[in-house]
Amino acid sequence: MREMTGGEAVYETLRALGVEHVFGIVSVHNIPIYDAIERGGGIKTIGVRHEQGALHMADGYSRATGKLGVAITSTGPGATNGMTGLFEAGFASSKVMMITGQIESQYYGKGKGFLHEAENQLPMLRTVTRMAESVRRPEEIGEVVTRVATDISTGRPQPGAVEIPVDLQYARANIDIPHVEAMPRIQPTADAIVQAAQALNSSKKTVIVAGGGVITAEATQELRQLAERLDAPVFTSTNGRGVIPEDHRLAMGPLLNMPAFDEVLADAEVVLAVGTRFQGGSTRNWTSPMGQKLVHIDADPGVIGRNYRPDVAVVSDARLGLAGVIKALESPKNEAGFADHA
């Protein structure tokens, strides 16, 4: 714990979280944060012309890297402009955090007409995030920002938001910056791994459907290793693009609303789905077949079985789930020519 301004506390917390880029617009309600970032170094600020763009950029950054995407906005109109980006990040299961300003604490909720006054900003943010918090004392800044960032990355990623009154950004206080441990990964049960491996061991026609959860879990290496071991064609969701090189012989591209893809899925003895929730646009509104058996690996237990009932459910981080399956496999492989004709 040491003395610093609230703006410096935001900067130090972002550094502790491993943040290297932030997107946004400088305003009178977030200057102390930007000032601390510029003076401290180590975080690149990327300016935009509209807050919606900042949130979309943070979302795209998160999808491409699997890291936390951070956008910094002003209070009131700045925060409302970012709502569309937060909504889209939630739909796409992206790790996105909005840090927004708020008017001075002494005027908050009094309806005096203070510049960019937004008394109901926090309830608004909670409609499109899993967690949105407001800081009431400068001493809380490190803990609140860390708590929201942790929630964003827990289970199926969902966006979060923190509002910080501008006077608290300027205020000096003794502030603790939490030590951030590596985010805990959800471990699969041994029984689930055994069941998944048994299903794959007995299959001669396995198809893999991979989603954005593979990228979030940094499991592309495990996904490719398993696909090559099984000689299994790999379809992806839109958010799963990149889990396997597009020029790889097993890469089938994004799962689209096409009858030809349905033929491949219907012919599969086992469909292994990893890190996807089967959105309607990819599955002909959940009418596409998913093989004779479905093995579904996902970190969010609420996703498994929501759109397709699996024969084997593995609640797990994609990397740990795939690694467990690879270790438990015997020597299964698709019949010759199955992948080439998919």
Per-residue confidence (pLDDT) for residue 29, from 0 to 100:
94
Residue 18 clears pLDDT 80, i.e. is over it = yes
Question: Could you tell me if 262 and 146 lie in one domain?
Answer: no
Question: Could you tell me if 121 and 228 lie in one domain?
Answer: no
Question: Could you tell me if 77 and 129 lie in one domain?
Answer: yes
**Is residue 302 classed exposed, middle or buried when 0-12, 13-18 and 19+ CB atoms within 10 A define those classes?**
exposed
Question: Could you tell me if 23 and 157 lie in one domain?
Answer: yes
Question: Could you tell me if 301 and 230 lie in one domain?
Answer: yes
Could you tell me the two tokens for 294? Answer: 């479905």
Per-residue confidence (pLDDT) for residue 81, from 0 to 100:
97
Residues near 216 by beta carbon (within 8 Å), at least 6 away in sequence = 66, 93, 95, 157, 275, 318
Question: Could you tell me if 126 and 18 lie in one domain?
Answer: yes
In a domain, residue 336? The reply is no
In a domain, residue 340? The reply is no
Question: Could you tell me if 27 and 153 lie in one domain?
Answer: yes
Question: Could you tell me if 158 and 197 lie in one domain?
Answer: no
In a domain, residue 221? The reply is yes
- Which of 122, 148, 175 is a domain's end point? 175
Q: pLDDT tens-digit profile of 123-175?
A: 999 999 999 999 999 999 999 999 999 999 988 899 999 999 999 999 999 99
Range of the domain at 137: 2-175
* Residue 43: pLDDT band with limits 50, 70, 90: very high
Angle between helices 318-328 and 220-230 (to 10 degrees): 30
In a domain, residue 182? The reply is no
Average of per-residue pLDDT values in the chain: 92
Question: Could you tell me if 166 and 200 lie in one domain?
Answer: no
CATH number at residue 200: 3.40.50.1220
How far is the C-alpha of 37 from the C-alpha of 57, rounded, in Å?
Answer: 19
Tally of domains in the chain: 2
- Which of 147, 175, 203 is a domain's end point? 175
Question: Could you tell me if 226 and 306 lie in one domain?
Answer: yes
Question: Could you tell me if 122 and 247 lie in one domain?
Answer: no
